[in-house]
Amino acid sequence: MTAPALANAALDETAVALPVQETARVVRDTRPLRLITCGSVDDGKSTLIGRLLWDTKAVKEDQAASLQRDSNGKQNDLGLPDFALLLDGLQAEREQGITIDVAYRYFSTDKRSFIVADTPGHEQYTRNMATGASTADLAVLLVDARVGLLEQTRRHATIATLMGIRQFVLAVNKIDLTNYDRARFEQISHEFKELALSLGVRQVTAIPVSALKGENVVYDGRASMPWYEGPTLIEVLELATTRSAQTVGFRLPVQRVSRPGESFRGYQGTVAGGSVKPGDSVVILPSGMVANVTKIVTFDLVRNAAVAGDAITLVLDRQVDVSRGDVIATIDSQPMIGLAFDAQLVALQPEGIQPGKRYWLKSGSRRQRVQVQPVSQLELKTGKWNHADELPMNAIGKVHLAFDEQAIFDTYEQNRTTGAFILIDPDTNNTVAGGMITAKRAALGGIHTEESRVILSLPADLADQLMATELFANRREDVEVRRVTAGKAVEIIDTIDQ
Amino acid sequence: MPHTHPETELHNPQSTKPPLDPHLKALENEAIHIFREVAAEFERPVMLYSIGKDSSVLLHLARKAFYPGRVPFPLLHVDTGWKFREMIAFRDEMVEKYDLDLVVHTNPRGAAENITPFTHGSALYTDIMKTEALRQALDAGQYDAAFGGARRDEEASRAKERIYSFRTPDHRWDPRNQRPELWNIYNGMIRKGESVRAFPLSNWTEVDIWRYIQAEEIPIVPLYFAKKRPIVERDGMMILAEDPRLELLTGEAKREEVIRFRTLGCFPLTGAIRSSATTLDDIISELETATVSERQGRAIDRDQAGSMEKKKREGYF
Ligand SMILES: Nc1nc2c(ncn2[C@@H]2O[C@H](COP(=O)(O)OP(=O)(O)OP(=O)(O)O)[C@@H](O)[C@H]2O)c(=O)[nH]1
Ligand SMILES: [Mg+2]
């Protein structure tokens, strides 16, 4: 396909010519692909999504008419409407020409349907970007071709990666303003691929784009960029994969206990991993009691199985004490349970994250008190983790979590539901951080006993073995390893004993 | 009052429907999750019931979420007194059929000051009879959470709203300072007097609503289906002319047309569309080729720029 006349010709006063309407029956055999746009201020995120909606015919005539009306007087040199106005729906956004909060929009092609979150580029509104990123399958990262990668680009790429996004599209935007400079495009793509690689992301597609003119968005930009032979943005989106349902063991965070009458007692919640069927043995955490599943009840029928994502009511074969916040799990592969965990988080509010403060932590349906001890903060420029005692707004940090009561988690790596949490400030009730569990900590050496150290002297082979474990890998920065000779060890032990 | 449901009822007799496709199933699961979460976290939830197609889907999902129990909160209908007659009949039928608790509230100022859409204009009328009335009803019931059927695809400021939308004690929405909402972990912590509006249908589109109504055989007000009805044309809208309170202005004439409604609200403010869609299949294929959005027929969204955001800030749904 080539760009329709609209893309290049200036529009006349009368109306915005909408692309011809075609009937599109969307294939509904998968759930929609969820994507975000991210990147620095004014890189053209909203314009790109606006263009995507426009060219996929998701904009109706009355909406096009308001767009035309609203763009009046603010039109750019090309005479095209301000597509960002399709997204920037708040008055403050329209006045300032920036995005403040995430907009969710829905569109489809004849191949699949999409939910897109257009996030703000402003550093001040990073929390809103994180909101959009937490549920996304894919991130479209925009860069202004004239400017290149900025700190904010790195921040967004990092947050997206932390939140588990593994598919990136790099849209090198405003390429029209560089005279379609191929060398510039290649240089930026190269820089970004290095950044992505350092974040552990291998799946990056770089596309030179003019969001405003609609080149390489839905229609190809061959006329202006004959040197680019790769896919358009929409082609990449149509082929992207959705986050797969987790394969680890069965998890049901209990939201409610349903007791409509004497004869019925069911546990309601959304399956957060694995699957379940009648007859399965399950464990209730944190109590550790065991029971068997007798029925999976839904409104339509008594089902013979339920899988991740299903909202169900579970009936067990015996009277056990189960309440909201408990987790019903498979016996063979249980989640971690303990009082101390390691996590990474993004600080979302001006107060940052303060050491020793007691926050509320919510994960699944469980809410409990937690003390948060920052350990280190990511330096965006270098990718290094520097020691930190507190985390300012927008910081990405590693923390230790200490609970009063048993907490139940998987690692985020293993389960994006049971490994994710938010922190709530009890003074303001606001959500102040989004976090991801990385590991469980042994109670000993936890935050309560930060000063205490245990010195182990081990035979060399056992020490090597221990250091090769995943647990050790996750805690490497907490550990001081000294390889000493037997004679030296005796000296050390002697000084300790004194 | 607790209702007893004997075990035998667990097999729903009407369950011969084919399973939902994954797209609708995902939307349904998400909505049920939200219903359960709000019901568990808040003390006095209520469900706003406007009798339209979205409310019908919302009600159906609520029944599914709490099955085999009863819907554990009341429905609230803010009745302006100017709803379509068929809507009120339908509402009462649903309440009866599904054993629901219904609260109906009308702003007493309507009768006292004779506030009508004809005399006060759509903006002021909506402000008093809908927004103010809703605030009165929510205060009177001391509700700390209110479910609504709003969808993000309806309007540009809705597209910005969270699933748990925080409101101050005077019901205001502050779009510039919304709480971050990550994953499906909702923050339901509020102080006394504050509240949350919860939107289980946030991620549904109009087509999803219709496809779900079809798949689940959900009853809806017959006004959604095309039929020959009396109308009068006013301000470029076709208004249903069956209520005696609608006075014809000079130059206006009643006539019959085959029409239907894409959204339902107050009859003097809701425009009909010419359509021959008499079945759900017809409606869905009509939608897939529609060139205007569903909001087009609503006077309330057009009366000033950014009007929905303004109304929402003031406490409108
Ligand atoms: N020439 C040209 N201008 C563009 C292009 N894309 C966006 N712009 C312009 O860049 C400006 C900023 O675009 P927006 O889409 O609002 O940028 P944004 O990234 O959404 O900004 P924030 O959301 O505030 O971070 C607008 O004036 C757009 O018209 C492009 O491809 N070419
Ligand atoms: Mg923007």
pLDDT digits (tens, 9 = 90+) for A448-483: 333 445 556 666 666 666 666 666 666 666 666 666
Average pLDDT over residues B182-208: 95
Which protein residue has the closest C-alpha to ligand 1 atom 7? A44
Q: Where are the domains of chain B?
A: 22-209+307-313, 221-299
A vs B, Cβ pairs < 8 A, gives 200
Q: Is A84 in the pocket of ligand 1 (CB under 6 A)?
A: yes
Nearest to B288 among A23, A264, A363 (CB): A23
CB A338 within 8 A of CB A407: yes
Please name the residues in contact with B70: beta carbons below 8 A apart, sequence gap of 6 or more: A260, B3, B99
Atom of ligand 1 nearest to the CA of A76: 29
* The pLDDT value given to residue A10: 35
Q: Is A415 in the pocket of ligand 1 (CB under 6 A)?
A: no
pLDDT greater at residue A444 or residue A328: A328
pLDDT in tens, B154-180: 888 889 899 999 999 988 998 888 999
Nearest to A302 among B11, B157, B183 (CB): B11
Chain B residue at shortest CA distance from A367? B187
What is chain A's length?
A: 498
Report the distance separating Cα B225 and Cα B260, nearest Å. Answer: 5
Of A487, A496, A493, A495, give the one whose Cα is nearest residue A457: A493
| CA of B274 vs chain A CAs: smallest distance (Å) | 17
| CA of B252 vs chain A CAs: smallest distance (Å) | 26
Q: Is A407 in the pocket of ligand 1 (CB under 6 A)?
A: no
| CA of A14 vs chain B CAs: smallest distance (Å) | 18
Atom of ligand 1 nearest to the CA of A215: 31
Please classify residue B206 by burial: count the beta carbons closer than 10 Å to its beta carbon, then call 0-12 exposed, 13-18 middle and 19+ buried. buried
Residue A389 pLDDT > 90: yes
Window from A78-82, A161-165, B202-206 with minimum mean pLDDT: A78-82
Residue A13 pLDDT > 60: no
* The pLDDT value given to residue A443: 57
Please determine, looking at this structure, whether the domain spanning B22-209+307-313 carries the CATH number 3.40.50.620. Answer: yes
- Please choose from A42, A70, A213 the residue to mutate so as to test ligand 1's pocket, defined by most ligand atoms within 8 A of CB: A42
Q: Do A255 and B37 touch (CB under 8 A)?
A: yes
Nearest to B190 among A25, A310, A429 (CB): A429
Which protein residue has the closest C-alpha to ligand 1 atom 12? A42
Atom of ligand 1 nearest to the CA of A209: 31
| CA of A258 vs chain B CAs: smallest distance (Å) | 7
Please determine, looking at this structure, whether the domain spanning A251-330 carries the CATH number 2.40.30.10. Answer: yes
* The pLDDT value given to residue A402: 96
CB A167 within 8 A of CB A241: yes
Report the distance separating Cα B251 and Cα A420, nearest Å. Answer: 64
Please classify residue A86 by burial: count the beta carbons closer than 10 Å to its beta carbon, then call 0-12 exposed, 13-18 middle and 19+ buried. buried
Q: Is A51 in the pocket of ligand 1 (CB under 6 A)?
A: no
* The pLDDT value given to residue A485: 67
Chain A residue at shortest CA distance from B296? A62
Domain with CATH 3.40.50.300 in chain A: 3-239
Residue B304 pLDDT > 80: no
| CA of A136 vs chain B CAs: smallest distance (Å) | 9
Q: Do B288 and A25 touch (CB under 8 A)?
A: yes
CATH class of the A336-440 domain in this structure: mainly beta
The fraction of chain A above a pLDDT of 90, given in percent, is 62
Q: Do B155 and A100 touch (CB under 8 A)?
A: no
CA of A107 to the centre of ligand 1 (A): 20
Average pLDDT over residues A382-400: 93
* The pLDDT value given to residue A301: 74
* The pLDDT value given to residue A11: 35
- Please choose from A41, A212, A224 the residue to mutate so as to test ligand 1's pocket, defined by most ligand atoms within 8 A of CB: A212
For residue B29, the chain A residues in CB contact (below 8 A) are 270, 309-311
CA of A83 to the centre of ligand 1 (A): 9
Residue B106 pLDDT > 90: yes
Nearest to A28 among B22, B179, B191 (CB): B22
As a three-state string, the secondary structure of chain B is CCCCCCHHHHCCCCCCCCCCCHHHHHHHHHHHHHHHHHHHHCCCEEEECCCCHHHHHHHHHHHHHHCCCCCCCCEEEECCCCECHHHHHHHHHHHHHHCCCEEEECCHHHHHCCCCHHHHHHHHHHHHHHHHHHHHHHHHHCCCEEECCCCHHHCCCHHHCCCEEEECCCCCCCHHHCCCCCCCCCCCCCCCCCEEEECCCCCCCHHHHHHHHHHHCCCCCHHHCCEEEEEEEECCEEEECCCCCCCCCCCCCCEEEEEECCCCCEHHHECCEECCCCCHHHHHHHHHCCCCCHHHHEHHHCCCCCHHHHHHHCCCC
* The pLDDT value given to residue A469: 66
Omega before A286 within 30 of 0, i.e. cis:
yes
The fraction of chain B above a pLDDT of 90, given in percent, is 66
For residue B152, the chain A residues in CB contact (below 8 A) are 104-106
Question: For domain A3-239, which architecture applies?
Answer: 3-Layer(aba) Sandwich (3.40)
Both tokens assigned to B203: 């991620």
Both tokens assigned to A10: 């200036």
> Where residue B30 falls among pLDDT bands split at 50, 70, 90?
very high
Helices (H), ranges, A171-259: 182-198, 233-239
SS3 (DSSP) at A236: helix
Q: Do B156 and A106 touch (CB under 8 A)?
A: no
pLDDT greater at residue A80 or residue A233: A233
* The pLDDT value given to residue B299: 54
* The pLDDT value given to residue B313: 74
Of A27, A3, A5, give the one whose Cα is nearest residue A16: A5
pLDDT in tens, A20-75: 444 444 555 677 899 999 999 999 999 999 999 999 888 877 777 777 777 765 55
* Best residue in B11, B153, B155, B179 for a mutation probing chain A (most A CBs within 10 Å): B179
**Mean pLDDT of chain A, nearest integer:** 85
* Best residue in A21, A431, A436 for a mutation probing chain B (most B CBs within 10 Å): A431
Nearest ligand for residue A103 CA? 2
Average pLDDT over residues A127-150: 93
pLDDT greater at residue A468 or residue B81: B81
For residue B153, the chain A residues in CB contact (below 8 A) are 105-106
Q: Is A173 in the pocket of ligand 1 (CB under 6 A)?
A: yes
Domain with CATH 2.40.30.10 in chain A: 251-330, 336-440
CB A12 within 8 A of CB A116: no
CA of A41 to the centre of ligand 1 (A): 8
Atom of ligand 1 nearest to the CA of A50: 15
| CA of A129 vs chain B CAs: smallest distance (Å) | 9
CA of A100 to the centre of ligand 2 (A): 8
* The pLDDT value given to residue A75: 54
Which protein residue has the closest C-alpha to ligand 1 atom 21? A42
Q: Do B182 and A105 touch (CB under 8 A)?
A: no
Report the distance separating Cα A52 and Cα A41, nearest Å. Answer: 19
Nearest to B293 among A60, A90, A104 (CB): A60
CB B116 within 8 A of CB B143: no
> Where residue A102 falls among pLDDT bands split at 50, 70, 90?
confident
